[in-house]
Every structure is written in C-alpha cells, then in structure tokens.
Structure 1
Amino acid sequence: MAEQPGNRGSGGVQFLGDGLHREVLQVVELRGGERVAGAVRLRRVVVEQHSHSLHVCAIRLNVCVELSRCIHSHDLPIVQAPPERGQRTVTSTQSQPAQSAIRTRPSAQVLIIGAGINGIATFRDLALQGVDVVIVDKGDYVSGASAASSHMIHGGVRYLENGEFRLVKESVEERNGLLKIAPHYVKPLKTTVPIFSTFSGVLAAPLRFLTHKQGKHQERGALLIKVGLSLYDSFSRDGGSVPRHEFRGARESLAQLPRLNPGLKYTATYYDAAMHDPERLALDVLRDGLDAGPHARSANYTEAIGMDADGVRLRDVVTGEEFSVAADVVVNTSGPWTDLTNAALGQASEFMGGTKGSHIVVDHPELLAATGGREIFFEHSDGRIVLIYPLKDRVLIGTTDLEHDMTQPIRCTEAEIDYFFDLVSHVFPDITVDRSDIVFRFAGVRPLPRHDDEQPGFVSRDYRIESRPLGARPGTLLSLVGGKWTTFRALAENLGGDILTLLGMPRSVSTVGLPIGGGRDFPVTDDALQVWLAANGDEVGRPRAARLLARYGTRAVQVIEHLTAGPDAPLEYAPDYTRREIEYLAATESVVRLIDVLLRRTSIAFVGGASSALLEELADVVAPVLGWDGARRAAEVGLAASILREVHGVDLAPIGQEAHATA
C-alpha cells in the first residue's frame, strides 16, 4: 500500500499514477527509530471537472521511501495517492490493451501469477493445448529472478556431487534441445576449467555427496573433475550436439590461454551453452503463447493482491485500479516471492529459501582477450564454483551464493564486488580489474526450496509442485518451488500436465522439438544465412539485416518490414538501434516503462550504453507511441535513472559525455 503522511509503518510504495512530477530529495527521516535516507517527494496532478473546462491543481504529497528497501527493479518507489471524492487523477496512458482483454472477460481456466521464464513457459505450454489461460506479473516480464541469470543454458555439472542425477540428465537433454529449437539465442559455449591439483578432494567428495555439508574445504582435483565430466558426457549422447570433454596438461593449457595462472597443472575443456539474450528468449516464449489465440492473455505490471468471492484480486500497478479474475486453477510461479504471493492470497506457506547470486559486467579488453572467447569456470578459494564469461564484447563475472531475506533489498554489494576481483586474480594473476571497469551489476534470488541448516551450495536446484485448495472459492492453488532457466521447457511440460489433469483435458501438442519464436526456420549454416540475407537484406542492407537476425531471430522479418515502412534514422546515443526499431518494440512488446526498453527489450544498459542523453532520446521516441504526456515522460526518465543507479550501480554519463556502446 502507498504510505500516507502519518502512516510510518508501511514497508514501501507500489505504483505511480500518470501525470506525476517526481523529485528525489537527499533527506533523512526517522522510522521506528531507524534513520532512513532517500525520501521521494511527489506531486500529484489532480483535475476537477467543471461544466465545460478542466481546472488543474497540484497536491503535494510527502512520502518517505526507502530506496534501499526495494526488493527489485519493479519494486522501486512509485506512488499514486487515491483520488479524493469528486476528483480524478490525470493519466496519459489508460489501462494496457492486453490488460483490457482480461478485464473484459475476467475469468479463465488457469491464472498464472508470476511471469518469469517458468511461468511464461507454462503459459505457452497451456496456450498451445487450447487452455483458457491468463498470466500476470507485478513487474515487467522476466524482471525478477529470471533477469539475474548467468546467461547460460547448462547441464549443471556441479550438481553431480549433490547426487542430482535426474536433474543433470534432464538439464543436459534440455540444453541440447534448446540449441536446436532456440538457435537464435542459445549457442554452444566452450568452457575451460583450470585445475591446480591432481588428487585433492577425492576423499572429501563422498562425504559431501552423502551429507551435503562442505566440511573443511578441499579443492576439487583433476581426478575428481575427470570422473565428473566423464559422467556428464554420458548424459550427452544424442547424436553429438556438443563435443566431449578434453584434458590438457599445463604446457598445452598455457599455450592456448597464456594469461592463466602459471601454477595450474591441468585444464579440462567441455561444452555447455550460452544464452546471450535471456529476456528476449523469454519474450519469444511469451509471444508463442499469445499467438496461439485469444484464449491466451497476458498483462505485465498487474499485481495479485488478494482473494475475494469473485476470484484473485488484481491491481494495475500503473493506475492503481483493481479488478478480480476467476480461475479454476491458480498457479503461483512467482519464484522467490512464492511465499509472499501465497500469503497475499490467504494461503500462507513456507516453501522458499532462496539464495542470492550477484554478477558484474566489466568493459575490460585485456580480460576479454585473456578468456580466448571461452567461459572460464572454476573453483574459487572458498570452494564456490564461479565464472568469467565473455559476452557482447564485455566480461560477465559471477556468481555468489548467499542466504537472503526476501524482505531486504536484492543488490550486488561492495563485498561481493571485492570477491569478484579476488576470483579474477586467482586465475589471471597479472590482470587487474577495478571498480572503474564495471559498467553494470545485478543480483537475484534463486527460487530454491527452504533448506534450514543445509549449506547454500548443496541446496537442490530441482523443482517440485505443491498443491492445495484455493480456500476462498472452489479451485486449486499450485505453487512452483524451484526451477531454473535451462529446464524451463521440461518444467512447463510437467506442470502443464498436472494442470491438464486437474482440468480433465488431454495434451494435444508436445513442445519437444518445437521451435521457439525466432528460432523457427533460423539459418544455422553459412549457406542458409546467405540465402536469408539475400531474401531480407536488400532494403536495410545485409550487415544491418544480419544484426537484426542475431537480435530477433527470424522474427527480424517483421522488424524489417516496420523499419522500411517509413523514414528512419539511427539513435544518436545508441546508433546500433534506430528510432523505428525502438518504436516497434514499444508498440508490439508490452512496454509500460522506459526502463523496460533499457533492460529487457534491448541490452543497452547491460553493456554500459546508458546515459542521461540516451534516456531523454528514448523517451522522445517511446512517449508518442505509448501516449505519454510531458509529466509521464519526465517521470519515466527519472524512474529509469533511479533504477539504473540504485539497482545496477550505473552512474549515468551527463549529457555531452555519452558512450556509444553496442548492445
């Protein structure tokens, strides 16, 4: 609930009304004896209707907002006070068209709450079966835990020592499948493991396997890694999707990667898969579901806030309007927020015990070259498996595995950054990375099951489905516990199967081998690529067509049609994109906030391309498409800047000092 003056007990505020003027003030207030910095003052523009005119007045609201307490980017402080009687709040954007389709017919067989990758994949699976299904999320699509991945589709070789053989087998099979059905976003990834001992860890490994406790740390040596990778290869026998692993001695290893720590004894090299645009892959999965027909409906920025006699109570996060949706089956796929969502529905649970994982993205050409174009995947001095990964001409470094309280902010901390610098020096001792190299940071909480005294690294990465009656009305509440990016298709098939059983419906479509979005008819050979470029590249030029194909898969055909339908020009501050391309994304991909464009429809912020001038330029392009007035436009620029600064550590370059990054 939005906190009103005099009500100091609320934990934050949730939504922004259109027509708000937002001023961030450096002030300090007291709340419950605690000093709170970063209050936000907002001006709500209110209109009184007179006979033939509108009288505009401003009401100033002082609201204490704790930026540091916000859970994720879509939970940043955004406020709308309820209109007083006889007044209405000025809005420049009415309810989303997608949301209107739900309001017009406020019922469905299935309502999915939580549009991360597993919720979206379940939505697609059900939509393809002809199920009347709705999916909502309180933020943007894939803006929660799914936005904080290591950008990998991997078999989970390290899960073998936990004894999770079923999960590893499924993960390897799904990785191999995604290389085929989503080749536009999932690519083979050569991975090298530096090894500093031969026999270390051989005796400790069985104890870890049996007890899931670390004990005194012993490094995993070459023999143990060899056994693990041999077993890993055994799960990959499907016609050679990826090569089998190889071991090399120190001399050959250092000849290939000369900047590696000269103290190593061996390297092991195997293949997993890279996912260079996870958010865009998720949007493709969503679009597949929506394309199944009008029985499939979705809305972002739509929060489940409770239950009533009419169904699940939903709130439009932008306007504050509320409505109910009745469903026979309610599916909670809100990841680490699952218990909080269940509590809102009157079904308290204690299923979740997620751990926080953080990453940084650095612009460091020396480190990028040192990786040799491959992922460096290794055990750090504390036993944690970490990675250094070249991505989009930057280097991704991660990750941590820390217990986390979901009532606290999810941020990459300074201590974690120091940890990342230390791990780089562990394998590349003559390369220095410092804070000036960081262009982006992010953190998320893995949706792991409650695990009490089990150490984070040993908590199962597998998933399960909890079922109970809805309670307030007839129906079933299903809660997804666990789940990871790699297995989203298989998970959705299993969860979808349970839902079909509840509905008494047969499965009519299998998603095994079914191409996803722009992966359909994607040219995977050089000859096929040249044929595609010859057919689609004349009007925009073949180099540009090739970039669009990499960015959107074969859905680039629709993008090109839009680009060539009118005058176009590159963005001044992100010239790899054009104005009509951004217009297309805003018009067709459920953009609600300016930050959606920066973080999830493009990779501009991820590679360090955000600047004050770019935010202004993007707002100029997006505002007419979405019907924003001047106040809404200004609010969106301010909100985007706040999220980039507070959540992702991005200090925007002032106008005149912009960096032109390629995303």
Structure 2
Amino acid sequence: MCCRVKDGCIPSRYQPSIWGGHTRTRHSTQHLRHEGEYEVAQSVGTPGSSSLRESVSALRDTPRATVLVIGGGINGIGTFRELALNGVDVALVERGDYVSGASSASSHMIHGGIRYLENGEFRLVNEGVHERNGLLKIAPHYVKPLQTTIPIYSTFSGILAAPLRFLTHKSGKPQERGALLIKVGLTLYDFFSRDGGVVPRHQFHGRKRSLNELPKLDPKIKYTATYFDASVHEPERLALDVLRDALVGGKKARAANYVEAVGTSEGGVLLRDRESGEEFAFQADVVVNVSGPWTDFTNTALGTTTKFMGGTKGSHIVLDNPELVEACEGREMFFEHSDGRIVLIYPLKGRVMVGTTDIEADPNEPAVCTEEEIDYFFDLVNHVFPSIPVTREQIVFKFSGIRPLPRHDDETPGFVSRDYRIEPSTLPGGKTPVLSLVGGKWTTFRALSEHLSNEVFKRIGVTRRVSTVKTAIGGGKGFPRTDASRAQWISQHRSGLSSARTGQLLERYGTRAQEVIEALADGHDEALDFDKDFTTGEIRYLAQRESVVHLIDLVMRRTNHAFTGGLSRELLEELAQHTGEVLGWDEAERAQEVDATIEHLKKYNGVDVGGTSVQAPTAVAAS
C-alpha cells in the first residue's frame, strides 16, 4: 500500500508542465480511495511502452540509497556533491529540470550581503563574504569580481531608523541610506573581508569625481561609494558543474531530473517519473528535503504537515539598451530603495539586468513579473540615470522566482532573514529521519551544503573525509587566470579550431571546454544556420551529456539563448532538430517541443518569439 498526496493539494509548481509530462506514454487508470489528506493507491497502473531514461532506470532498478535528496536546486545539488565526494551512497531527484526553480531566478550575484549588517546578521555576512572569496578561487570560470557603486543622495538619511531596526529586530521603518550609514556599513564589510585578500577595499567619492567616472549618473547625487563583490554570470552552468562533479566523483551517486516525490510507500518514498508516468518505491536511511519554497508541499507529500516557509517573489528584467550598458562602465549600480528593497542595475552578457522586487508570494501560484513591477524598475533606472530612456520594447527577457525564506509575521519583506536552518522530522512510522532545509541563498550554497551534510553524517555514522572548501568546481580546475596563461591554454587545446572559437568555449565551459573540443572533433560539426555562436556538434554534446529532457532545458539552462533575447522560431526549430537527433524525437515531437517552448517563454518570460532573432551580443563565428 502506498500513501500519496492528492493532485488537488499539489501547487502549480508541482502540476504537470505544459509539455504534458505523460503525453508520450499511455497509462492504466489508477484506482484511488480517499483517506483524509491523502489518497491510497489500491493498484498501480502499468506504464506504457516508452523506455525509461537511463538516469531513472538507475533509481528504479536499485531502489535504495543511504541518503535520498529531494530537490535539484543549487542547495540540493551542493548537498548531493558533499555526500557523493565523501563516499556516501546518495540519490537525488528533481521534479523539473535541474536549477529550474528558485535557483534559476537569482540576481547573478555572489555577495556577503552588506545590508544584513543592519539587521544584526553578522554570522550570515561573515559566512557570505568567506564563501564569496572562496568561490572566486574555486569557480573562477563563472564567478568574477564585480565592481559595485552605490549612488548616495544624502549624508545622514537612515541614521536613526537603522539602529532602531537593529535593536528591535528589524521592526523599524525602512528608509533610504545616507553617506554616513553606508560608510559605517562598508567599513564593517571590509572588516569581514579582511582575510580574503581577493577584492579591494571600498572607496568614497564626492559628486565631482563620481560624475567624472560615471557622467550619466543623476547630477543630484552627493557621493558614490564603490566596493567589490562578485558576480556569477552563468549560475545554471555552475550548478551543472557541481552536479557533474558529484556524479563523476561519487562512485555511488545517482541523480535524475523530472522525477518527483509524490508520497510514501513500503516505509520509503514513492517516486514518479514525470516523463513515463512510472511510479516506484525508493528506500533511504535519511531523506533530505531541499525543495526550496515548496519544502512544506514536499513534506505534505511525505506525510508530515509543516509550516516552515514564507517566501517572497523577486523579479528582474533584461534590457537591450546599449546606452545603459555604456553608462554603467562595466560595474553594477546597487542601492537600497526607501521601501527597503534592493535595487540593482547590472550589465550582463551585452544586456542590462534590472531588479529586484521583494513581494509576498504564494508558492501555489507561478511567479511572473508584472506590469507594475516593470513600471517600478523603470522608475529606478530613471532615479539613477535620468537622461537614459528605457522602454518596454527594450525588454528581451523577464523572470521571477520565489525566495525560499522562512515563514515571517509582519516584517517588511526586504528585511526577512536570508539565513538558513535545518528542521528534523521523520517519515510516517517514525523510523526514517527527514531533514528539511529552510532558507538559503546562492552565495552560501557550499557552506550550507557542508552543514547539511554534516547533519546527515551524524545520522548515518559517517566521518567526513573530504572537504570542499578548496576543491575546484568543474571547469574552474586549472582555469587560466592571466592573459598569458589563457593564450597558452588556447594554443595547447585548439585541436583544429580557431583561437577565437577555442577561447569562446573556454569562457563558456571553463577547462571543461577540453571535453567539448574533443567531442566536436569526433563528429560532423558546423555553425548553426540561425546562431553562428554555436555549432551543431556543441548542441548535440549538450543534449547528450547534460541531462537535457526538453528543449526549454537547452535554451534556458544550458545556453544563454533565452536570457539574451537571441531566439527565433527558426532557431528553435534548428535546436530541436539537433537535440532531437540525440534524444530520439520524431518530427511531431520536435514540433511539440518548439511550440511548448514558445508558449512557456511567452507566458513566464515575456518573450514573443517571432521569425527573426535579436542580434546576439559579442558573437564569435564558430569555426
């Protein structure tokens, strides 16, 4: 007998996607009887004729592991890596694509969180700065120093409100920060950064010098403060590197995307492959729930009612505005609005990303950037760069996500703690421990994963034997850090490609580019007709090696095509053709994937795919 959550109790994030999930396979009807909040399956239908993916078969054929990780965002993948590299028999399942939930909607920043100082969260800031410095060293292919400038309009603003929030645990009224308060904050921030030796200390400049350096800034500013944090310009690819390190380094590590936990069975977890519809029981000594904003829903499916989560929505827009790109001078403009929300204007991949909002959100509903949020973003840009026009026609991509924050009462959303905690419980029957992660953010994923895995080690009687503090991630291993070493790497690994193309692959994959180059040499390879930045062989490599299941996985999380506005129907059809050659799609399935991707991009990302793609920035001929 198996117990599983009713479909009506599953939020939209957990409902079948617009790809249909089961549409390619016929299934027997499931006969269910209602029991309270759950439905008990009396007989499980036999799946159709479609064969299971290899990753799913590996779970079904050996339906047991010491640890089962539920959730394939950055914190779930990071925990999976910690356990795998320490020799633990561990399995991971993600109900969508890897890094497709909260982790896909980041601000692309790796930062200590200067404003958390005002909340008194010194532990979190210290950990964040330490992890920022560490990621600059172990993931240099994707994490880069980011010069950040704060425009300042007053000297003393916020000086009374900030101590009040600190003393009353964040209950004070938000107020825009003045120079004195920002100076104190940056001095403390430098103190926390003192051991890193990775980024320079902050600088303060008056109005005249500030406008000399950034002439498009609002002339009404009084000062600017400039400091360094870090950016992660390819967060999804960094997460895929972490996942790959776990699978390669862990002899007993298995992972599958598009597999969800839907209930309990035989003392374990009932898993469902969303592509075939097949369900099977999976046993584990410890279950780790790393479902982000949907942690409570996962616990409900596992038979326990929890109210841990209370996330907020954060939205961003991506603009094709060359004047704004130039005005930023390669740096991020970062400040805190009077309502307490973080505001950033950030040149990225030849575009400008503007964000973010901090709005109470219902995880039952899809997170979508609204027209009101866009108006808010335009007001912010005008606040910093009043002479630069921005219009809706310049928006090439917009995205939203729900932060996995702890449940909160009447706190202003922008001041809800970004720290994390681990909540223990058990599966029904009280024997199998369940560890639920509450909170967490991109910057601290490695430290968080280390702490979470340490809790697992206690429960399975294992001693840590491998530390990841200094372990390079994926293509960051041996990544050349100087122009001379980069030129040498390119010369040694060209294998018939041009230097420009080899350098492009190095920037895209880090030193893993060597594997891509070898794969390209093994088969027919030529530039795509509708995007000369990619080749047919590279697309086939991604489809074969990086767990692509749907076309949206490729354009959203394996490449930058969606983010930069570089998509057209013709390009999608071309990508579907080469991806389908690897995944076995017939003509009808290719058309279905293209149509579903277009629908998704329009509904959730504001992208109306026409007949011609936007010119991709900094294109390099693939040869």
Letter in 2 for 1:355: T
**Which deviates more from structure 2 when the two are superposed, residues 176-185 or residues 453-462?**
453-462
Q: Which runs of 5 or more structure 2 residues have no equivalent in the other structure?
A: 1-5, 30-44
Letter in 2 for 1:569: E
Distance 1:217 1:478 in 2: 35
* CA gap 1:432/1:11 in 2 versus in 1, 3 angstroms: farther
1:74 touches 1:143 (CA, 8 Å); kept in 2? no
List aligned pairs for 1:162-181, cutoff 5 A.
162-181=119-138
TM-fit CA distance, 1:79: 5.3
Distance 2:113 2:174 in 1: 21
Distance 1:626 1:421 in 2: 42
2:27 maps to which residue?
Answer: 83
* CA gap 1:424/1:470 in 2 versus in 1, 3 angstroms: same
Q: Which of 114, 131, 140 is residue 71 of structure 2 equivalent to? A: 114
1:421 maps to which residue?
Answer: 378
Query: Once superposed, what is the RMSD of the aligned Cα atoms?
Result: 1.9
1:520 aligns with 2:464: no
Q: Which of 191, 197, 201 is residue 148 of structure 2 equivalent to? A: 191
1:488 maps to which residue?
Answer: 445
| TM-score, length of structure 1 as denominator length | 0.87
Q: Which of 613, 616, 621 is residue 658 of structure 1 equivalent to? A: 613
Letter in 2 for 1:514: T
Q: Which of 549, 552, 555 is residue 595 of structure 1 equivalent to? A: 552
Letter in 1 for 2:324: L
Letter in 2 for 1:197: S
Distance 2:15 2:209 in 1: 45
List aligned pairs for 1:454-493, cutoff 5 A.
454-472=411-429, 474-493=431-450
TM-fit CA distance, 1:239: 4.8
TM-fit CA distance, 1:319: 1.1
2:346 touches 2:352 (CA, 8 Å); kept in 1? yes
TM-fit CA distance, 1:567: 2.1
Distance 1:472 1:320 in 2: 27
1:632 maps to which residue?
Answer: 589
Distance 2:48 2:615 in 1: 36
Q: Which of 213, 223, 230 is residue 256 of structure 1 equivalent to? A: 213
1:556 maps to which residue?
Answer: 513
TM-fit CA distance, 1:216: 4.6
Q: Tell me the SS of whatever aligns to 1:162.
A: coil
Distance 1:575 1:208 in 2: 53
1:529 aligns with 2:486: yes
Q: Tell me the SS of whatever aligns to 2:557.
A: helix
2:362 maps to which residue?
Answer: 405
- Cα deviation code 1:293-319 (max 9, x no counterpart): 440000000010000115100111111
Q: Tell me the SS of whatever aligns to 1:647.
A: helix
Letter in 2 for 1:544: R
TM-fit CA distance, 1:214: 5.8
- Cα deviation code 1:165-219 (max 9, x no counterpart): 0000000000000000000000000000000001111111111112244655532
Q: Which of 272, 285, 288 is residue 328 of structure 1 equivalent to? A: 285
* CA gap 1:209/1:124 in 2 versus in 1, 3 angstroms: same
List aligned pairs for 1:253-652, cutoff 5 A.
253-472=210-429, 474-652=431-609
1:308 touches 1:472 (CA, 8 Å); kept in 2? no
TM-fit CA distance, 1:661: 1.6
2:19 touches 2:593 (CA, 8 Å); kept in 1? no
1:139 aligns with 2:81: no
Q: Tell me the SS of whatever aligns to 2:398.
A: strand
1:241 maps to which residue?
Answer: 198
Q: Tell me the SS of whatever aligns to 2:605.
A: coil
Report sequence identity in percent: 61
Distance 2:317 2:518 in 1: 36
2:69 touches 2:287 (CA, 8 Å); kept in 1? yes
Letter in 1 for 2:576: A
2:47 touches 2:278 (CA, 8 Å); kept in 1? no
Letter in 1 for 2:240: L
2:42 maps to which residue?
Answer: none
Q: Tell me the SS of whatever aligns to 2:249.
A: coil
Letter in 2 for 1:623: G
- Cα deviation code 1:58-90 (max 9, x no counterpart): xxxxxxxxxxx94489844625375358x9987
TM-fit CA distance, 1:640: 0.9
Distance 1:476 1:273 in 2: 37
Distance 1:481 1:552 in 2: 31
1:157 aligns with 2:157: no
1:439 touches 1:650 (CA, 8 Å); kept in 2? yes
TM-fit CA distance, 1:409: 1.9
TM-fit CA distance, 1:144: 0.2
Letter in 2 for 1:614: L
TM-fit CA distance, 1:379: 2.3
Letter in 1 for 2:613: E
Q: Tell me the SS of whatever aligns to 1:303.
A: strand
1:32 maps to which residue?
Answer: none
**Which deviates more from structure 2 when the two are superposed, residues 168-177 or residues 315-324?**
315-324
2:77 touches 2:243 (CA, 8 Å); kept in 1? yes
| TM-score, length of structure 2 as denominator length | 0.93
Distance 2:235 2:537 in 1: 23
2:318 touches 2:564 (CA, 8 Å); kept in 1? yes
Instruction: Could you list the structure 1 runs, at least 4 aligned residues long, displaced by more than 6 angstroms after superposition.
Output: 87-91
TM-fit CA distance, 1:614: 1.1
Distance 1:299 1:272 in 2: 34
Distance 2:163 2:190 in 1: 20
List aligned pairs for 1:8-27, cutoff 5 A.
none
- Cα deviation code 1:248-284 (max 9, x no counterpart): 0000000000000000000000000010000000000
1:616 touches 1:637 (CA, 8 Å); kept in 2? yes
2:34 maps to which residue?
Answer: none
Distance 1:73 1:366 in 2: 42
**Which deviates more from structure 2 when the two are superposed, residues 396-405 or residues 69-78?**
69-78
**Which deviates more from structure 2 when the two are superposed, residues 421-430 or residues 375-384?**
375-384
Distance 1:324 1:501 in 2: 25
2:495 touches 2:517 (CA, 8 Å); kept in 1? no
Q: Tell me the SS of whatever aligns to 1:312.
A: strand
Q: Tell me the SS of whatever aligns to 2:262.
A: strand
TM-fit CA distance, 1:512: 0.9
